Amino acid sequence: MTFTSSAALLDAVVLAVVSREEQGTYGYRITQQIKEVLDLSESALYPVLRRLQKDQCLTVYDETINGRNRRYYQTTSKGLEQLDRYRADWKEYSQKIDHLFWGEPS
C-alpha cells in the first residue's frame, strides 16, 4: 500500500485485532493479522503495544506454551471505548475521502 500508517491508525488497528479475542492474543499473531492489510513488522508493533498498555487500553499476561513464555494482550474497558471512538472517527474520515475520490455523498 502506498499510504503511510499514522500512530493513531496503528493504535486503532491493533485494538481492533486484539479486541476480537476474548482471552487475548500475542504479538506474532497480531502482526500476521495486520500484515493482511498493512505493511507492519514485529519491531514496529511492540512500541504500539507498549503505548496502548501505558495508556491502559491493554492489559498483559504471560502464559507458558511448550516450555516458552508467550505474552498475551487483552483490551480493557478503556481500550474498547477508545476503539469505539476510532471506529467513529474512521467512518467519518473514510466517508470524506470517498467523497473526494468518487464524489459520493458524505
- Secondary structure letter of residue 38 according to DSSP: S
Burial of residue 11 (number of CB atoms within 10 Å: 0-12, 13-18, 19+): buried
The pLDDT, as a whole number, for residue 2 is 56
How far is C-alpha 72 from the chain's CA centre? 14
The pLDDT, as a whole number, for residue 4 is 67
The pLDDT, as a whole number, for residue 5 is 73
| pLDDT profile of the chain (106 residues), mean per 10 | 76 96 93 91 91 97 92 97 96 92 75
- Collapsed DSSP state (helix, strand, coil) of residue 69: strand
The pLDDT, as a whole number, for residue 52 is 97
